[in-house]
Structure 1
Amino acid sequence: MSDFAASFAPDVLAKAATTRLMIFDVDGVLTDGGLFYGEDGEAFKRFNALDGHGIKMLQQSGVATAIITARQSGFVVRRARDLGIAHVFQGIHDKRQAFEQLLQHTGLQATQCGYLGDDVIDLPVFTRVGFKACVAHGHREVKRRADYITTAGGGHGAAREICDLVLAAQGNYEAALAPYLA
């Protein structure tokens, strides 16, 4: 076990180790939750490059990724495409339906999935997955049910923190870093 992996509680590592699909909410998770509106009413989102690279590293290790979000946005489609996230569900207010479709499409069990969320709209999926993570500023009801609460806030490295944790739990953290240390 790496020194980094040893910094997490054994039960958290055990749950993260079984994750084959990591699911992310968008607003408040991949972004800081703020929305910027242009004159034409279009909402803009700010994404974090650290989070994006963590998602790519997670995918390279064999963990699939997905997005389930209540909002509909072309920015999310573009960001998902840039990151290679194949499973994107937008405009979903009952996230349970999207999660069931995702399980059918991937053939995975709910216990093989992880979820990073922040608000009560995430709970229908959050309570079903094997590894539950909440961002630092998440709603108290989500935090209460989380296996792990990030130290970073949404849009400020929380997703990267979870990607690194999953990599470490699966024994892939050092291998993911190796190309950058050669």
Structure 2
Amino acid sequence: LPAYEALKEKYNLDDSEIAYIGDDLIDIPVMEKVGVPIAVANAAPEVKAIIKYTTKISGGYGAFREAVAWIIEEKGETDMVMQRMKEKVLNSQE
């Protein structure tokens, strides 16, 4: 887990602040540490047994986008994020 620990230190994050999306056995050690472990729909059963959310979409077909939308919704920030996106689009057209 050296790469995980290095990123955590670089960005000054706590395990509880990190989301991780995985699908196979190699992902389990990191998924057991993070605050928001997420599996894609076609993940191994062993992975699905330890996660907080499973996407409806398989990996490679939009699962990351679905996971981000779920996190935003869980945090109750959907309206705020949508407003910021609209502002960025409007500002980029000027």
TM-score range, shorter-chain basis?
Answer: 0.7 to 0.9
Q: Which has the higher contact order (CA 8 A, sep 6+)?
A: 1
Higher helix share: 2
The reply to whether residue 154 of structure 1 matches residue 59 of structure 2 is: yes
Q: In structure 1, what is the Cα distance between the partners aligned to 2:53 and 2:2? A: 24
Could you tell me which amino acid in structure 2 is paired with residue 131 of structure 1?
V
CA RMSD in angstroms, aligned pairs only: 1.6
Which structure 2 residues correspond to residues 1-182 of structure 1 after superposition, within 5 A? Answer: 96-178=1-83, 179=86
For the residue of structure 2 that corresponds to 1:154, the secondary structure is coil
For the residue of structure 2 that corresponds to 1:145, the secondary structure is coil
Aligned-pair CA distance for 1:175: 2.5
Higher strand share: 1
Q: In structure 1, what is the Cα distance between the partners aligned to 2:52 and 2:29? A: 16
Q: Write the deviation string for residues 136-164 of structure 1: whole angstroms up to 9, x where unpaired.
A: 00011101111111101111111111110
State the TM-score, normalizing by the size of structure 2. 0.83
Q: Write the deviation string for residues 48-81 of structure 1: whole angstroms up to 9, x where unpaired.
A: xxxxxxxxxxxxxxxxxxxxxxxxxxxxxxxxxx
Structure 1 stretches of at least 4 aligned residues deviating more than 3 Å after TM superposition: none
Q: In structure 2, what is the Cα distance between the partners aligned to 1:174 and 1:140? A: 34
For the residue of structure 2 that corresponds to 1:129, the secondary structure is coil
Q: Write the deviation string for residues 72-129 of structure 1: whole angstroms up to 9, x where unpaired.
A: xxxxxxxxxxxxxxxxxxxxxxxx1111101111111111111000001111111000
Q: In structure 1, what is the Cα distance between the partners aligned to 2:9 and 2:63? A: 28
Query: Which sections of structure 2, spanning at least 5 residues, go unmatched?
Result: none
Query: Which sections of structure 1, spanning at least 5 residues, go unmatched?
Result: 1-95
